[in-house]
Amino acid sequence: MSIHLFTFNAFQENTYVLVNASKQAIIIDPGMTDESEDAVLFDFIERNGLTPVYLLNTHCHIDHILGNAAVVKKYGVPFYAHKNEIAVLERAGAASLRWDIPYRESPMPTHFIDEGDRIEFGEHSLDVIFVPGHAPGHVAFIDHEHEQVISGDVLFDGSVGRVDLPGCNAQDLVDSVQKKMYALPDQYVVHPGHGGATTIGKEKKTNYFIGENYSRF
């Protein structure tokens, strides 16, 4: 399975496309703002002969859902998110006004996912873990076969997700990082919602905000 990164919108949000040997694709957190950004993602999919099969949201903050409507309209794929993100989706219109960015209204999820679920993807699979704090229904997707995790905005290279938005909770974020993310082996690569990739081992040792056994929150 290969993973492809696209960075979209004013927030420089990371959108991921996972591709298996059968040329099926999973789209995670599409952040495209307009048709020009849509074209970047859609051209990649069409140029490589891919068939999208799932749309997944790690969470539903505005920068991670700006392309949901376009993806569902074009490909008709099932849309998976955690049930606790419904309230976040319902506030997306107000968030777009606050940040002065255009918003194509996202559809609601067709399927809810939670801790312990597994998303089958051809010969591969993604395990779902529940990691709230930055958002009330935040999840991450673990690819154990290739030792990597799509973390959304829980854990970044040297930082963590903000906790000053509606539905955030600092202690929940600390617990999610220390008890869930840091429980993964050190060599696992973290693909975050913003910025570059890192590893679990690096963050446990050097992350200023949440170390393996401490927090500066």
Taking a C-beta distance cutoff of 8 angstroms, is the pair 156, 198 a contact? yes
For the chain, domain boundaries = 2-206
Question: Distance between CA atoms of 177 and 92, rounded to whole angstroms?
Answer: 26
Give the tens place of pLDDT for each residue, 153-201. 999 999 999 999 889 999 999 999 999 999 999 999 999 999 999 999 9
pLDDT in tens, 16-62: 999 999 999 999 999 999 999 999 999 999 999 999 999 999 999 99
C-alpha distances out from residue 77 to 71, 103, 139, 213, Å: 8, 20, 19, 41
Q: What's the length of the chain?
A: 217
User: What integer pLDDT is reported at residue 62 of this predicted model?
Assistant: 96
CB-count burial class (<10 Å; 0-12, 13-18, 19+) for 76: exposed
CATH number of 2-206: 3.60.15.10
Residue 14 near residue 191 (C-beta atoms within 8 A): yes
Quote the pTM value: 0.96
HSE on the CB side for 215, CA within 13 Å? 13
The span from the CA of 63 to the CA of 11, in Å, is: 6
Strand partners, 150: 141, 191
| Strand ranges in the chain using DSSP code E only, listed in sequence order | 2-8, 13-19, 24-28, 51-56, 79-81, 111-112, 118-121, 124-130, 139-143, 148-152, 155-156, 159-160, 189-192, 198-199
| pLDDT tens figures, 68-80 | 999 999 999 999 9
Mean per-residue pLDDT of the chain = 96
